Amino acid sequence: MRIAVVSLALGIVFSGFGFAQNLLVLEKSDRTLAIVDPATQKVLARTPAGEDPHEIVASADGHFAYITNYGAFDKPHHTLTIVDVTQRKTIGTLDLGSLLAPHGLSLSEGKVYFTAEGSKAIGRYNPDTKQVDWTLGIGNNRTHMIVVHGDRIFTSNVNSDSISIIERDAKADVSGWTQTVVPVGKGPEGFDVSPDGTQLWAANSGDGTVSIVDVTSKKVAANFDIHVKRSNRLKFTVDGKLVLVSDLGSGDVVVLDAATHKEVKRLNVGKGAAGILIPPDGARAYVASSGDGNIAIVDLKSLSITGHIPVGKGPDGMAWATPAR
């Protein structure tokens, strides 16, 4: 693995940017990252995001952001793009070598976990050593999204119609990990783990259902139809009471009650509802409308759309960055 560092202009003073929170939005079709001030809803800066950028995660201190350069099936890429958020500059490209089509991202204990869909694997980048320090073969087809929750790693395997639960196990093979593959509905893509870690909800893009996996038993506890055309992402609210599912086909966001599994509200955010981001305060959700080039702001108390943030072409993956003081 190697990392190429892009030189920076040193005339930018960090204090000039203050410590404001930043909403980071990938503009896929423009191959750029937009840094947005959520207070003014204005784009503060743009910086290159590499080829075919799909997902983004920010470091805990809000200083850096990491972007997967996907490439999908025909021309899978093999890089992560690294951005200095405080300087608003792209600073490097990490070559992942044979780890192809990186897509999903999750941050845990300062390290960046990613899927390598084209290699049926997952990996981990260590910002301290600037190296990929761990990989694990998954062996499923189209391992797309990843969530690290506590000491477990979860992935959605779209074309294998399954969810993987990966756990440390001293008695396992030389890898030290065991994988349990849980069959769910057709085409699970977006998924999330409940804040208490007891449930995993998977949005099955191929049949319009949601599968609920009991994390302890590693079995499907419920499966129900939410009447969507092509679910894309699924997110729990911070308090774990609601679940949001975006529908690329209709442009809707379906709001579900986590306890009853019933639909609470259905909001149309525009063309191609895609990425969902819920900031740590849990007051609102940002939903990308890829076809309209904007981000819808959803108030999670009133369950209403309170505004839109115009961005570039094809917005999708988002992250929240709060620079440390």
Q: What is the pLDDT of residues 183-205, one digit of tens each?
A: 999 999 999 999 999 999 999 99
> Which residues sit opposite 23 in a β-bridge?
36, 320
- Residue 148 belongs to a domain: yes
- Residue 34 belongs to a domain: yes
Percent of the chain with pLDDT over 70: 93
| Cα separations in angstroms, 250 against 53, 209, 291 | 23, 15, 11
Interstrand relation of 79-84 and 64-69 (parallel, antiparallel or unpaired): antiparallel
Cα three-residue angle 298-103-30, rounded to 5 degrees: 65
Q: Per-residue pLDDT for 18 more than 50?
A: no
Work out the mean pLDDT of the chain and round it to a whole number: 93
Separation CA 46–CA 22 (nearest Å): 12
Q: pLDDT at position 19, please? A: 55
Tokens (6 digits) for 17: 């940017």
- Residue 270 belongs to a domain: no
- Residue 275 belongs to a domain: no
3-state helix, strand, coil in the chain (%, to 5): 5, 55, 40
Q: Per-residue pLDDT for 16 more than 80?
A: no
- Residue 246 belongs to a domain: no
In 3D, which of 224, 233, 207, 296 has the Cα closest to residue 258?
224
In 3D, which of 83, 54, 82 has the Cα closest to residue 69?
54
Q: pLDDT at position 74, please? A: 86
Q: pLDDT at position 6, please? A: 39
- Residue 8 belongs to a domain: no
- Helix, coil or strand: residue 163: strand
Cα three-residue angle 200-254-69, rounded to 5 degrees: 65
Query: Looking up tokens 């981001």, which residue turns up?
Result: 277
- Residue 12 belongs to a domain: no
Q: pLDDT at position 323, please? A: 73
| Overall size of the chain counted in residues | 325
pLDDT in tens, 69-128: 999 988 999 999 999 999 999 999 999 999 999 999 999 999 999 999 999 999 999 999
Query: Looking up tokens 């086909």, which residue turns up?
Result: 249
Q: Which amino acid is at 2?
A: R
- Residue 232 belongs to a domain: yes
Q: Which amino acid is at 231?
A: S
pLDDT in tens, 310-322: 999 999 999 999 8
pLDDT bracket for residue 9 (50, 70, 90): very low
Exposed e or buried b per residue across 164-198, where buried means at least 16 C-beta atoms within 10 angstroms of its C-beta: bbbeeeeeeeeeeeebebbebbebbbbbbbbbeee
Name the pTM for this structure.
0.93
Q: Indicate which CATH number applies to the domain containing 59.
A: 2.130.10.10
163: containing domain: 22-238
Total domain count, the chain:
1
Maximal CA-CA distance, the chain = 56
Exposed e or buried b per residue across 48-57, where buried means at least 16 C-beta atoms within 10 angstroms of its C-beta: bbbebbbbbb
Residue 184's Cα: distance from chain center in Å?
20
